[in-house]
Structure 1
């Protein structure tokens, strides 16, 4: 079966000279579907099936549980805002459909824009499509608000791929994390769409204009209403629902930045924050699922545990220092509760460990991760305009990662030079009397 499929694909392969763009698209699919037909050089000739594409696929696989949960949570948070189906599993079919209707366009726009640029550059350069956007394209939807306008998303993806990667030479040459660059572009270019309370809950700004439906997706929900009604299940209804009185949509992190931990616990329990049934970016909320993904990456050796561990230590050290200072309610939040809020674990597992933009030496990874945790906590707590810190801290340390590696390597060279000099001294001392006797 596999050989037949391989033969069929070879028969429909476009001519590289006559149709270079079609051949580029064909090559991207072919190399994604099949392992490399190569052997290592030497006497063993072991075929190596783990190329960069397959490494990237491992990261994408680790993100799938976050996609599933994040999609469902979009719908859950929407219905909670309307005061309906407030139990997590109540109205599950409605929540999943609502989340899919929001999530699928975000995913499609991200990949159409990003892969379109990748295909264009591969076609112009005459080489295969690079693998890096497999991960960037999977990460970008998860770090965006569920109600982000699609045109802003497209502009941010184009900026990140063009300026953040292709301008530096493509995959493996970029100095900044591409996914984070897309988010930071939205934050600085369109701050009202990624800050505040309402941006984290899909549809509440349009609740008065048509409830569940709004203007764009009424027909889609109508189709599902017909299906659910025929099965005797609850339906979306006629729309026109309003957000319940007193509902703010604030994230735990936003509440903590204004009123400390007491303000957070008035709206959310630690269980809700742990399991992720709270507002926030699509993929950052469920801490156990993120930890499962992190362990998967460590076990498969796709991500380095040194960066994760040292990042946790850096955040703990700075958190303890801020707790000791205690000048504001946010500083008084116990350090361990910072792991319940915001995107620390997601940034630790999937952003800081990017092998292209992180430090590459073992010691450098420890330093790099520690500084991200340390600096990120400073930005989160001491910057009133941005009660989060990991995005800026990671991008900041991306810039310094080569410098960290340089000093680590230089220190290793100096230590080896000193050991060599120390080893040569006894030999020189022993040779000195023999040389003197020979001269005599």
Structure 2
């Protein structure tokens, strides 16, 4: 590492204002600060230095996402083997298949998003921010595995430019960039983002996996519920076996490959909470809102809305609810920032997710829209909380003066 540090010190003058490569100063600065902690300090004022800077925060979130990513790779291969009617499931072959299937999507998301951020940083002559380190991995995790790469690139570019950069970059975006990417894909290309085949990888890769026929159903549990037309409601896997709550908890079901495993998501939640990165108030209130609305829907269940027959616990296990509660709703940029506001914000996300999922048969999942709606209301929630605190203190001041 000392040799690398010496090399960077040697070439650094080329990127200074008078250097021959000064136009790429922000690019060099981005790579240097990614490898080493900056040693620059402020020149005035009183400052408290904290070892937990934005780069470390982003890296910890990426580490928290690793269980979801690794399990998603396995489940991608497992669902392909399952749909092909395989009798054996070799672990390493399945992992290799999942890795080769998932890798291009991660590469495309990072290449497009980071490419735009590098260009914008150069244009503005600013430092390159670290926000896309997390966004770049979130985007493929929440999209169907069969999403065409060019669609992923277009949606990522749209979100980074119009949701993030036009507002000023990292820390200024109103909506969660990854969720907007998912929304652009869903509403712009609905045929490629829904149905019973987009959540299962259908092609063999490098001699691994199976080329699946057109005549197979890979509908997610929520997709099966949305298309339920009467009779006994049974959720089945790709081989026709009943999906248990344990299967849903482990994540051995079709779905966006990073969202299926509640167990992997809980491991990530422990990492985020232990490091103090994410708000436990938001996580707790999202779960409480989901359980409350799930219970209400179940008590008043009707065949018109088959999702209402799910138990409150199953509402949390299926779809992207758990992933949204841990990784999406807790985004510190777009979530509420006051402590009281975080409770209301999270409760709103949980309740809205179940309402959309249960009472809109044309849209089987509600977590994405619930978080985006709550993002829009987060500033208003914080404003109301602050005004209530101001009014309460003014009352105490008047009472003490009397």
Shared topology, TM-score over 0.5? yes
Matched residues in 2 for 1:40 and 1:130: separation?
19
- Name the count of aligned residue pairs: 391
Matched residues in 1 for 2:126 and 2:396: separation?
46
Is 1:420 aligned with 2:379?
no
Determine the structure 1 residue equivalent to 2:342. 365
Q: 1:56 aligns with which of 46, 55, 58?
A: 58
Matched residues in 2 for 1:306 and 1:40: separation?
34
Is 1:289 aligned with 2:264?
yes
Determine the structure 1 residue equivalent to 2:72. 70
Secondary structure (helix, strand or coil) at the match of 1:199 reads coil
Once the two structures are superposed, residues 225-265 of structure 1 have per-residue CA deviations (whole angstroms, 9 ceiling, x without a partner) of xxxxxxxxxxx49x7x55497x4111111122333983216
Q: Is the 8 A contact 2:67 2:267 kept in 1?
A: no
Q: 2:247 aligns with which of 268, 272, 278?
A: 272
Matched residues in 2 for 1:16 and 1:84: separation?
59
Is 1:253 aligned with 2:255?
no
Determine the structure 1 residue equivalent to 2:382. 405
Determine the structure 1 residue equivalent to 2:83. 81
Once the two structures are superposed, residues 84-108 of structure 1 have per-residue CA deviations (whole angstroms, 9 ceiling, x without a partner) of 145xxx2222212211221111011
Once the two structures are superposed, residues 87-139 of structure 1 have per-residue CA deviations (whole angstroms, 9 ceiling, x without a partner) of xxx22222122112211110110001000000000000001101111111121
Indicate the larger mover: 158-167 or 19-28: 19-28
Q: Is the 8 A contact 1:21 1:119 kept in 2?
A: no
Matched residues in 2 for 1:58 and 1:92: separation?
28
Q: Is the 8 A contact 1:275 1:287 kept in 2?
A: yes
Determine the structure 2 residue equivalent to 1:322. 297
Determine the structure 1 residue equivalent to 2:129. 130
Is 1:121 aligned with 2:113?
no
Determine the structure 1 residue equivalent to 2:277. 302
Matched residues in 2 for 1:159 and 1:308: separation?
29
Is 1:262 aligned with 2:260?
no
Determine the structure 2 residue equivalent to 1:98. 97
Secondary structure (helix, strand or coil) at the match of 1:264 reads coil
The change in CA–CA distance for 1:109 and 1:263 in structure 2 (over 3 A counts) is same
The change in CA–CA distance for 1:304 and 1:279 in structure 2 (over 3 A counts) is same
Deviation at 1:39, TM superposition (A): 5.6
The change in CA–CA distance for 1:378 and 1:20 in structure 2 (over 3 A counts) is farther
Matched residues in 2 for 1:364 and 1:46: separation?
27
Determine the structure 2 residue equivalent to 1:159. 158
Determine the structure 1 residue equivalent to 2:138. 139
Q: Is the 8 A contact 2:147 2:193 kept in 1?
A: yes
Aligned ranges 1:104-253 → 2 under 5 Å: 104-203=103-202, 212-213=204-205, 221=206, 236=208, 242-243=212-213, 247-253=216-222
Deviation at 1:21, TM superposition (A): 4.8
Determine the structure 1 residue equivalent to 2:15. 15
Q: Is the 8 A contact 2:281 2:343 kept in 1?
A: yes
Once the two structures are superposed, residues 290-321 of structure 1 have per-residue CA deviations (whole angstroms, 9 ceiling, x without a partner) of 01101111111110000011111111111121
Determine the structure 2 residue equivalent to 1:26. 28
The change in CA–CA distance for 1:162 and 1:42 in structure 2 (over 3 A counts) is closer
Q: Is the 8 A contact 1:180 1:395 kept in 2?
A: yes
Matched residues in 2 for 1:244 and 1:186: separation?
23
Aligned ranges 1:333-372 → 2 under 5 Å: 333-372=310-349
Could you tell me which runs of 5 or more consecutive residues in structure 2 were left unpaired when the two chains were aligned. none
Q: Is the 8 A contact 1:258 1:330 kept in 2?
A: no
Is 1:374 aligned with 2:344?
no
Deviation at 1:418, TM superposition (A): 0.8
Backbone CA RMSD of aligned residues? 2.2
Matched residues in 2 for 1:144 and 1:92: separation?
24
**Deviation beyond 4 Å, 4+ runs, structure 1:** 38-47, 241-245
Once the two structures are superposed, residues 21-70 of structure 1 have per-residue CA deviations (whole angstroms, 9 ceiling, x without a partner) of 53222211111122232568999987532211111111011011111111
